[in-house]
Amino acid sequence: MTAASAYGFDRPVIILGSPRAGTSILGRLLQAHPAFVHVKEPRFIWRYGNDGRSDMFQARHARPEVVAHIRKRFARILAEGGGQRLLEKTPTNSLRVPFVEQVFPDAVYVHVMRNGYDCAASIRSYWLNSTSGVANGRIGDKKSILWQRFAEAEPRQVPFYLWELLARLLPGRPGEPKTMWGPRLPGMAQMVRDMDLIEVAGLQWRECVERGAIDGRALGPKRYMEIRLETLTLERVAEVLKHCGLDMVPEVEANFRAEFDSGKHLSRRTSLSAADRSALRRVITPTMQWLGYDEPSGSSLAETQHAAPVAPIKETAP
């Protein structure tokens, strides 16, 4: 029996990438394929049984009851969606590929990358603007993030997140985040107290992209591929589908032309001051150089140069 036939999934597609790197864009483009059921950041499903930890789960944290629960929840979503293949997008999974491997041992991974200065600027903006209220609707609105989280959570998980809810609803200090946002790194609350927020954003980008790339490349090119948001084209989307074992279909092509505008998406950049760039330089320079990205030359990220291509991955013999 293959791994897929053993637990009822056929090669789930896991989109990796740091927050604000283009994972949502790629997910929206691919979801037009009739084979896919797209699941967007089901945070509580992945955290089941490990709610008291940071997001850097290890393979050992995928205990049998945890794996069984996560598979059961995704199987239900897949059945309700009526598709054949699970398409899952959670940036935090970039921190824990070995854990994901225990859940879906035959998963296919697509890692979306974007210039670290672009990502960090956008991540900081979300820290400041998306840690209040119940984003995307009122408390009773089924489209709100809060409603989605309650739908995902098991009763035993609720106590772990009550403080986060209260922090979102209570008054906070102007210009400061009310609660944590994005991938929870170990010790991140202390980082927020002691470091500039732009540095914390840079560390979130760095840890996601490094761990995702190192663990993903170890799986080999048949299961892992990297793409750049800066060079995303319809042809590249076709390569992603081929990597997933699927052909390009008219629905995806039409969705690409309707949804994706490289000029619009890449122009959504926040200006960084000289102090911001200096702070980021301390935490992301080696990773930027490793990936072949250039630092913006001016105060605006609109001047960012395109990335150099990633060196090809060589498949090694078992």
What is the structure's pLDDT at 140? 47
Residue type, 258: A
Confidence class of residue 315 from pLDDT cuts 50, 70 and 90? very low
Asked if 152 and 251 sit in the same domain, the reply is no
Place of tokens 């591929």: 225
- What is the rounded CA–CA span in Å between residue 278 and residue 296? 11
Q: What is the mean pLDDT of residues 117-133?
A: 84
More confident site: 117 or 303: 117
Asked if 159 and 12 sit in the same domain, the reply is no
Asked if 101 and 191 sit in the same domain, the reply is yes
What is the structure's pLDDT at 156? 81
More confident site: 252 or 305: 252
More confident site: 101 or 300: 101
SS3 assignment, position 104: coil
For 195-220, give the DSSP string. S-HHHHHHHHHHHHHHHHHHHHHTT-
What is the structure's pLDDT at 253? 96
The fraction of the chain above a pLDDT of 70, given in percent, is 79
252: nearest Cα among 264, 263, 237 = 237
What is the structure's pLDDT at 266? 60
* Residue 187 belongs to domain with CATH number: 3.40.50.300
Whether residue 71 is predicted with pLDDT greater than 70 in this model: the reply is yes
Q: How many domains does the chain have?
A: 2
Asked if 191 and 174 sit in the same domain, the reply is no
Asked if 293 and 234 sit in the same domain, the reply is yes
Place of tokens 């609707």: 137
- What is the rounded CA–CA span in Å between residue 245 and residue 260? 23
Whether residue 303 is predicted with pLDDT greater than 80 in this model: the reply is no
- What is the rounded CA–CA span in Å between residue 143 and residue 163? 22
Q: What is the mean pLDDT of residues 103-123?
A: 96
Asked if 111 and 58 sit in the same domain, the reply is yes
More confident site: 59 or 136: 59
Range of the domain at 88: 3-117+182-301
**Chain segment 251-290, per-residue pLDDT in tens:** 999 999 998 876 555 654 557 899 999 999 999 999 999 9
Number of neighbours of residue 8 by Cβ within 10 angstroms: 12
> 8 in a domain, yes or no?
yes
What single-letter DSSP state applies at residue 305? P
Q: What is the mean pLDDT of the chain?
A: 84
Asked if 172 and 49 sit in the same domain, the reply is no
Residue type, 134: V
> 306 in a domain, yes or no?
no
Q: What is the pTM of this model?
A: 0.86
Alpha-carbon distance values, 288 to 176, 184, 203 (Å): 27, 22, 12
- Least confident range of 78-87, 148-157, 222-231: 148-157
Asked if 65 and 170 sit in the same domain, the reply is no
- What is the rounded CA–CA span in Å between residue 237 and residue 248? 8
More confident site: 299 or 168: 168
Residue 200 in contact with residue 188, Cβ under 8 Å?
A: yes
What is the structure's pLDDT at 139? 45
